[in-house]
Structure 1
Amino acid sequence: MRNKIDPYVSDTAQQRRLYKRTLFVVVLSQIFGGAGLAAGITVGALLARDLLGTDAYAGVPTALFTLGSAAAAFLIGMMSQRVGRRFGLATGFLTGAVGAVGVIIAATFESVTLLFLSLLVYGAGTATNLQARYAGTDLALATERATAVSIAMVSTTFGAVAGPNLVEPMGRVADGLGLPTLSGPFLLAGAAYLFAGLILLVFLNPDPLLVARAIESKRQETTDTSVHKTESTHDSRGVYVGAFVMILSQIVMVAIMTMTPVHMRHHGHELGAVGLVIGFHIGAMYLPSLVTGVLVDKVGREIMAIASGVTLFFAGVVAAFAPADSLFLLIVGLVLLGVGWNFGLISGTAILVDATTPETRAKTQGSVDVWIALSGASGGMLSGIIASQSSYLMLSLLGGIISLVLVPFVLWYRRHLSL
């Protein structure tokens, strides 16, 4: 491995070529990863409702695969820190594929226990899909990190938008195989995660994180920089702020998104309409990424983090007051929800990457993604309880109001930076 890395350490042109190649490989894997991600989001709550016979626990699937993604995020981060992005990310996607197969078996035999266990394992794919964005930043210049994140994320759009709109066709495929209709999207998820993992395992070589670490080590030797000085560039405050922006965006987005399919089905919308709304939502989560990345790099991390809070607020308001039979307004609300999450994730990621060094980056990123996943699990779990005890309107409105906390928090951090 060292022989593969050495040519890149002192050759800037080689580094730039590897950076572009890494982005291409990440993009390719994310196309498949997005399709795998979309299955659980679209029909997970509906599958649980059918097996459990109640709406009160419809948020449990989202909570479970998000909880599973929390554990996976930590393990993938640790594995990436030790042996590189290639093996860490590939292992995560392949584990997600195993979870998808488990969901299919659970649905076939109507086993709630196996369903819940499989959703935990399936969550590894979600964690990997999210952590893959970091691979694009390992060799990026400081002025293009957000853009690198956005390129990795925008590629998820192709699979993520196609996934929900393949719900009905995959349901027919499942019917033809003698499987439950709602297990169909998980057939797609299993295959998609398998391909994503294999792409990274085969083509993400040499590993970008290991190369970045070797470059940093060489730079320290050349400039006679001490270990203590390098460690001092780790900005704990920046890590906390970046994490908070991503966590709050995640919890609000997951809570409203999880209960939207259930809310729609309650009011007579067909499964195809549910897939359409979620497809627009997931598209809005990822498609704006190229523009968002440029804005974060050019306009500023903090301004775009504030924009995230404001956009999520309007998303909650629109979703709350949209007439239940208005497909258009539901789409508008869920699109705003996706865009707000996109702003928060990319600006928060950029703040986090800026605040870390190659020596600690993967471990820190994995730890932060654990909290992002846990916040999503909390949002998914609480969303069903809040909606069943009050209403979808109250859930959406509460999410929008909570989002505004980002504004004063980021303004405080921005003032700290100017001191």
Structure 2
Amino acid sequence: MAGPLPDGISDPLPAGGLAAVRRRVQSTLVVSQILGGLGVATAVALAPMLAEDIGGSEAVAGLASTASVIGTALLSLPFAALMARHGRRVGLTTAYAVAALGGLVVVAAATAGSFPLLLVGMAAFGAGNSANLQARFAAADLAEPAHRARAISTVVWATTIGAVLGPNIAAPAGKSVAWLGVPEAAGPFLWGTGVFLVAGLLMHMMLRPDPLLTARALARAGGTEEGSGGERSLRAGLAAVTASPSARVALTAIAGTHTVMVSVMVMTPVDLGGHGAGVELIGLVISGHIMGMYAFSPLMGTLADRVGRLSVILAGVALLACATALAGTANGHHAQSAAGLFLLGLGWSAGLVAGSALLTDSVPQPARAAVQGLSDLIMNSAAGIGGALSGLVVAQAGYGWLNVLAAATLVPVAALTLLSVVRRRK
């Protein structure tokens, strides 16, 4: 029955109670993920081309994407702090608003021909990806512990639609705004701005009652949440991770699997091109990789809930190891490269979904938002470093050695996870 939440939270529970709130939160997050994924993928598809046009050199083409990754990482903490204090609705709405502003700055930079302004705009545009990542944790706020991984995986799955559609509409989006005097490669960023504004408005209007604030209120009413708002600070989040072995395993799994995926993925088009693959074939391989990342995430969520988070993390490590073995030894066999990249996406999905669920399980309710923001900061920072170093590794030692080093990165993930399994059995 409808009624106010405990502790004076103003948004009432709708008819149907908590189950109705869960459905509303889930559907709102799914739609926002479709929009957010579309906004990011449509614009980022032409970001290297735009950077090359403004910077005047192929050498700086990758800096636009790098700036976006750095922005995603650095903005994770302030958005997490905002959510910890004021809830998911305020934090996610603000993140999409910053991303929309970043898109406008990119368009202004393209019009003015300013490369430094482009990098600033790309960093702010990375807030869109930060919002997309944080949304998976919002799905976990009110989920029953037995179904937490499935709730996370459903939101991750929704990204598939926007991620697949985005690159395919990038060119038409650029041409559609040419009459405004916007360079064609910058046009998708104007579209991205509009999409992020719609996503932010959706969050502001529909994410009620706020899932994080509701979860806290219910925990207080049930006597399971203790402490003050100070325990929701980022310092307290770090302390919560330090105090929990399971949280450390989860954080290592999320950062490790993401770093391996990004490091191998960013250099695969270069390797394929060096072995005679055309743009169409490279696009097909990357599409298969994206499908592996997102399309099967509900399966990973269901498995994580039924057989356990640690088992699915180990399965993800095994999939990533197979992926690096296949990709690293393909040597021009395009079908083998495609299989390797598909498994790379599948292993990433297992690690992200199961790791995110384990992280949420392992820390107290007051510290969760801060811990989740810290997780995204570490995950994106590690992947940014890995992606930057991967080009140097390929230039000096080759694509095969890049895969060897990526596989070596999985060793601490596997070791910590197996140690945790042993501890639990004891």
1:336 pairs with 2:343? yes
Q: Contact between 1:306 and 1:410, CA under 8 Å: does it hold in 2?
A: yes
Percent of residue pairs bearing the same amino acid type: 34
Aligned counterparts of 1:403 and 1:59: Cα–Cα separation in 2: 26
Aligned counterparts of 2:361 and 2:386: Cα–Cα separation in 1: 28
The amino acid that maps onto 2:368 is: R
CA-CA distance at 1:343 after TM superposition: 0.6
Any idea what the Cα deviations from partners look like across 1:201-220, whole Å, max 9, x if unmatched? Answer: 11001101111100000111
The amino acid that maps onto 1:124 is: A
1:244 pairs with 2:252? yes
Number of equivalences: 411
CA-CA distance at 1:233 after TM superposition: 9.5
Range 117-126 or range 378-387, more displaced: 378-387
Equivalent residue number for residue 330 of structure 2: 322
1:208 pairs with 2:211? yes
1:347 pairs with 2:354? yes
Equivalent residue number for residue 167 of structure 1: 170
The two structures have a TM-score, normalised by structure 2, of: 0.86
For structure 1, which runs of at least 5 residues remain unmatched after alignment?
Answer: none
Match 1:307 to one of 315, 322, 347:
315
Q: Contact between 2:42 and 2:168, CA under 8 Å: does it hold in 1?
A: no
Q: Contact between 2:262 and 2:387, CA under 8 Å: does it hold in 1?
A: yes
CA-CA distance at 1:51 after TM superposition: 4.8
Equivalent residue number for residue 4 of structure 1: 10
The two structures have a TM-score, normalised by structure 1, of: 0.88
Are residues 395 and 16 of structure 1, via their aligned partners in 2, closer, same or farther at CA, if it must alter by over 3 Å?
same
1:32-47 equivalent positions in 2, closer than 5 A? 32-39=35-42, 42-47=45-50
Are residues 51 and 227 of structure 1, via their aligned partners in 2, closer, same or farther at CA, if it must alter by over 3 Å?
closer
Equivalent residue number for residue 195 of structure 2: 192
Equivalent residue number for residue 96 of structure 1: 99
Any idea what the Cα deviations from partners look like across 1:33-82, whole Å, max 9, x if unmatched? Answer: 11123246534345445555666655433332121112211111111111
Aligned counterparts of 1:332 and 1:174: Cα–Cα separation in 2: 38
1:289 pairs with 2:297? yes
Any idea what the Cα deviations from partners look like across 1:86-135, whole Å, max 9, x if unmatched? Answer: 01011111211222232333344443212211111111111110000011
1:15-414 equivalent positions in 2, closer than 5 A? 15-39=18-42, 42-49=45-52, 51-52=54-55, 59-173=62-176, 179-220=182-223, 227=227, 236-264=244-272, 271=279, 273-324=281-332, 326=334, 328-414=335-421
Q: Contact between 1:238 and 1:351, CA under 8 Å: does it hold in 2?
A: yes
Q: Contact between 2:327 and 2:340, CA under 8 Å: does it hold in 1?
A: yes
Q: Contact between 2:220 and 2:226, CA under 8 Å: does it hold in 1?
A: no
CA-CA distance at 1:398 after TM superposition: 2.4
Aligned counterparts of 1:55 and 1:258: Cα–Cα separation in 2: 16
CA-CA distance at 1:261 after TM superposition: 3.9
Any idea what the Cα deviations from partners look like across 1:326-359, whole Å, max 9, x if unmatched? Answer: 3x44433322221111111011101101012221
Q: Secondary structure at the match of 1:394?
A: helix
Q: Secondary structure at the match of 1:363?
A: helix
Q: Contact between 2:320 and 2:348, CA under 8 Å: does it hold in 1?
A: yes
Aligned counterparts of 2:337 and 2:183: Cα–Cα separation in 1: 28
CA-CA distance at 1:28 after TM superposition: 0.7
Are residues 67 and 312 of structure 1, via their aligned partners in 2, closer, same or farther at CA, if it must alter by over 3 Å?
same
CA-CA distance at 1:413 after TM superposition: 1.5
For structure 2, which runs of at least 5 residues remain unmatched after alignment?
Answer: none
Q: Contact between 2:321 and 2:407, CA under 8 Å: does it hold in 1?
A: yes
Any idea what the Cα deviations from partners look like across 1:381-403, whole Å, max 9, x if unmatched? Answer: 22233233333333234223323
The amino acid that maps onto 1:319 is: A
Aligned counterparts of 1:77 and 1:408: Cα–Cα separation in 2: 29
Q: Contact between 2:43 and 2:170, CA under 8 Å: does it hold in 1?
A: no
Q: Contact between 2:249 and 2:413, CA under 8 Å: does it hold in 1?
A: no
Q: Note the aligned Cα RMSD (angstroms).
A: 3.0
Range 209-218 or range 191-200, more displaced: 191-200
Q: Secondary structure at the match of 1:166?
A: helix
The amino acid that maps onto 1:118 is: G
CA-CA distance at 1:181 after TM superposition: 4.2
CA-CA distance at 1:196 after TM superposition: 1.5
Aligned counterparts of 1:281 and 1:180: Cα–Cα separation in 2: 30
